[in-house]
Structure 1
């Protein structure tokens, strides 16, 4: 017990971890015994062991099969049958294997020794506190992946690269060297597979997944080189329909700087962001966070449950400290949550604390976001009216004024977020040309993109109507993203002209498949070759139907729409249903109401908004 007491003032968590380990306790005690004469490494071992009962991996032969299939997908050899066979698989049905039950002393000792070597030898770590070292370099895992000996693997590549390119003491410069290489190697985006965190060694060779795998790669690479990094995330996006994860590096100033995903470089400046609205932000931690225990006692619950106690609320690092005092219409003692909209119901992203029967407060939230206070029980129900914390710290509530209605003219059902808006002007300068010679020795200009595409599609009357056998799409320098090109013999778009691609490119068939949500995307710092298509015979082209990459969330003529408004505790109320007759649709709606436009015909993406100054205001529109 004396050895345990040397680790911490309260030895119960370490003692619990040793008991939890069962028959494997001897392996953990070997580590403590190994470091008994090195007080700092002993403390590091205690840090890892006392928090170890929380950590586990999913295991089963199915994961090996899935890793093989993902590797095949990267190589382009995966069959549709193989893909479909595994798309319904849920990894959470597999067995949990807790680290404390299987980890070896050799594995832990090697991990600790290698982490300390990087901490002590890298010049940028001279001022890195031991506490931060324990969270940002020392951990032997990042999520629920199966354990592997990843440090040597990643250090042998990224450490060698870093040593050859940078010898200085600026942690951001070191981080940039490794991050540039990770960006060059890329991680293939894929959300087709329902798997836990990829094994670190397998991920090194098969880089495929979504933002989580990209983040994991960064953590393994950086930590293997002694660069202190972590992963931050938002539980649910106020703009999109998903959660999102990215990375931060701890600067020598103690500030955490966002980098990595979306090609963001680690740089010192006052504002560093990927442009997404976030609401609440948490940092994944290896150790139990005491402030999360405190929140649990105040709020009566904890975001993320047991695992949420290992998250750190870092929203204030991004937006500063603040507090929103919000009126409640629900006076019982149910726990209060902070939520943002989703089409499947309010998504809880943080805790609220009741001040009294009629008020709740929410600490450290992103300003200029529409939130809903909700009470938590068997169902998530509104506990008040939607609200926003304005940039000057005031709470603005959206209580519908049903006695005063106004005409609202609506053009979209989802926010035009900056990334999507960029698609509309990315192809300015592109040309569509025709010729009877496949080499286009005498090309004729048929249409040209001179301005932003501000709707899902664009139709041009051809500048050249003599018969041609071939057409080509000439993109602007450096980028190509096209969803659809159709040719017509007439101006009423009734007589379509069939064409087939001549240019050999993966996914070029997306340009002619009739699906405006499929697209061809190419990017380069040099000139991208034109896309050439062949007609069945020389034909006269009168009209060109064009779709750049799009989210298809504009109002469509002929689609049936329903407008709803949020009435606080009484929920959503309908303002009627009608078919659109143009690119816009109009309804009468209460002033100061939170609105929701539903496309009853098609689509999944919808977001709430308010109507002010004769336009829609989504979350992404508020600054």
Structure 2
């Protein structure tokens, strides 16, 4: 009995050692896979490991970076010129945003086409770049506001040399020299305090600029130009934060109440993340903005990591091969950190038996810039599709992808209210209603068309207007219970879908 007691007394410690051993084996296997995938660049990466053979902590950091580099890439984008030349305008050559836009418009009129070449980090980044990045990250980690950050958090949110898919930047030392003295002189002692102070300074360094290049911006371009669209601002802002030893990560959403999407930041502090908008709202200020402005309320939010995340619920069914950013192993669903009233959306589809090769993997889609775009991945059981932790009061449609690369709609469009209750928009052509729509003030001379979603055709179909005036257009043939879309021919943003209820246009840009 005493022997058994002594054995069981050491069992928890033994179990812990076994877990550590298994984790170490997995890390070693990931590192070896990365080195094997590096091809001719393997020698450069092994040189980094050899460089730190006498510094176990820095070598562990190097192993972390190299093991996860196969998941990352960057792109060279430029205008192709006759004879094989390349041209990428320098934004600083233009005195104003308007001058930049005029030049870009002239390139488009001349038929200049953009080209894109993709490169894997693991096969292109050399030892000098990685060693310099690691040494600088450790230097920043010694600062008062960073020294209490645990090593795993340091590896995930300070050490990485990239934020998203931007071209690898060599500005880390320059950012440290410019911004760390501000933090040193202020006496800040935590990541949250440092992030708040530095974000105020970033507001004087960069701002939103719409007329930037039609390419993904580099850190250098955004810094020199003093601005970019949201993805460029986010990349630069978070790059500066990490250079200063502040643990930050990028969060993102695809809008469901307006077009395109959005990126912003979150800072790690005492085990929790606090959202902020780089160069704009401070930690603690941004979440109320998202929840108080109807058009900014997200349906889903995802966090982009440098290393793969544990498998989410979408892995419950086999993958169908459809390509979407939502399936990136680096993404973590953090919607619960942002949504004040998340709901599980369950919607039935009676058409599933009409289709051969129906998949158990399904996509919750929102109408975003002229097409239905997936915002969440869910699963189908028989005729019920389930999507968890979704922001309600949105218009969606459910699709699958039996042929990889194409979406096939399984339901009519529907409105999921704030409680998850579903109202499908199945038009009733035999019952019509009349309505007069206002035209946009800046587009009064354009030709307008009202469309309704034809469930059988799985497409928007136009309706004939009964009369048109300078500022309005009237219809008498609108099918009841239809999803509608009132558009001009120009491809402009935020021509939103809507429905009619109680003689009013109902869009999803209000808090209700």
Q: TM-score range by the shorter chain?
A: 0.7 to 0.9
> What are the residue-to-residue correspondences of 1:363-512 with 2, within 5 Å?
363-376=388-401, 377=403, 379-402=406-429, 404-411=431-438, 456=441
Q: Which residue of 2 aligns with 1:443?
A: none
> What are the residue-to-residue correspondences of 1:509-588 with 2, within 5 Å?
516=442, 552=443, 556=444, 560-571=447-458, 572-581=460-469, 583-588=471-476
Instruction: Confirm or deny that 1:316 pairs with 2:336.
Output: yes
**Higher mean C-alpha deviation, range 324-333 or range 251-260:** 251-260
Cα offset, 1:180, TM superposition: 1.6
Q: Which of 90, 93, 101 is the matching residue for 1:69?
A: 90
Q: Which residue of 1 aligns with 2:116?
A: 93
Q: Distance in 1 between matches of 2:472 and 2:89?
A: 48
Partner secondary structure for residue 374 of structure 2: strand
> What are the residue-to-residue correspondences of 1:254-265 with 2, within 5 Å?
254-260=272-278, 263-265=280-282
Q: Which of 187, 211, 224 is the matching residue for 2:230?
A: 211
Q: Distance in 2 between matches of 1:173 and 1:40?
A: 27
Cα offset, 1:45, TM superposition: 1.9
Q: Distance in 2 between matches of 1:220 and 1:602?
A: 33
Cα gap change, 1:29/1:354 in structure 2, threshold over 3 Å: closer, same or farther? same
Q: Distance in 1 between matches of 2:144 and 2:350?
A: 56
Instruction: Confirm or deny that 1:347 pairs with 2:377.
Output: no
Cα offset, 1:266, TM superposition: 1.9
Q: Let me know the Cα RMSD of the aligned residues.
A: 3.5
TM-score under structure 1 length normalisation? 0.67
Query: What does the per-residue CA deviation read over 1:567-619, in whole Å, with 9 as the maximum and x for residues that have no partner?
Result: 43443344433442364444343433222223469966521111123211111
Q: Distance in 1 between matches of 2:491 and 2:388?
A: 38
**Higher mean C-alpha deviation, range 207-216 or range 61-70:** 61-70
Query: What does the per-residue CA deviation read over 1:208-253, in whole Å, with 9 as the maximum and x for residues that have no partner?
Result: 4311111111011111111122222223x32333232222223335
1:20–1:100 contact (8 Å) kept in structure 2: yes
Instruction: Confirm or deny that 1:171 pairs with 2:191.
Output: yes
2:439–2:473 contact (8 Å) kept in structure 1: no
Structure 1: gaps (5+ residues): 414-455, 457-515, 517-551
Query: What does the per-residue CA deviation read over 1:167-221, in whole Å, with 9 as the maximum and x for residues that have no partner?
Result: 12243332122112211122461445232331x3454333343111111110111
Q: Distance in 1 between matches of 2:312 and 2:228?
A: 30
Cα offset, 1:254, TM superposition: 0.3
Q: Which residue of 2 aligns with 1:505?
A: none
Cα gap change, 1:408/1:574 in structure 2, threshold over 3 Å: closer, same or farther? same
Structure having the larger proportion of residues in helix: 2
Cα offset, 1:16, TM superposition: 1.2
Instruction: Confirm or deny that 1:241 pairs with 2:259.
Output: yes
2:393–2:415 contact (8 Å) kept in structure 1: yes
Structure 2: gaps (5+ residues): 1-20
Partner secondary structure for residue 298 of structure 2: coil
Q: Which residue of 2 aligns with 1:285?
A: 305
Cα gap change, 1:306/1:260 in structure 2, threshold over 3 Å: closer, same or farther? closer
Q: Distance in 1 between matches of 2:183 and 2:105?
A: 38
Instruction: Confirm or deny that 1:56 pairs with 2:73.
Output: yes
1:303–1:349 contact (8 Å) kept in structure 2: no
Cα gap change, 1:20/1:568 in structure 2, threshold over 3 Å: closer, same or farther? same
Instruction: Confirm or deny that 1:113 pairs with 2:135.
Output: yes
Q: Distance in 1 between matches of 2:152 and 2:229?
A: 30
Cα offset, 1:354, TM superposition: 0.9
Cα offset, 1:114, TM superposition: 2.4
Cα offset, 1:292, TM superposition: 5.3
Cα gap change, 1:254/1:163 in structure 2, threshold over 3 Å: closer, same or farther? same
Q: Which residue of 2 aligns with 1:325?
A: 346
Q: Which residue of 2 aligns with 1:162?
A: 183
Query: What does the per-residue CA deviation read over 1:62-118, in whole Å, with 9 as the maximum and x for residues that have no partner?
Result: 699756531112568769567623786565533x33322232333323322322333
2:392–2:418 contact (8 Å) kept in structure 1: yes
In our comparison, the structure showing a higher alpha carbon Rg is: 1
Q: Which residue of 2 aligns with 1:250?
A: 268
Q: Distance in 1 between matches of 2:154 and 2:322?
A: 26
Q: Distance in 2 between matches of 1:201 and 1:369?
A: 38
Tell me how many residue pairs correspond in the alignment. Answer: 473
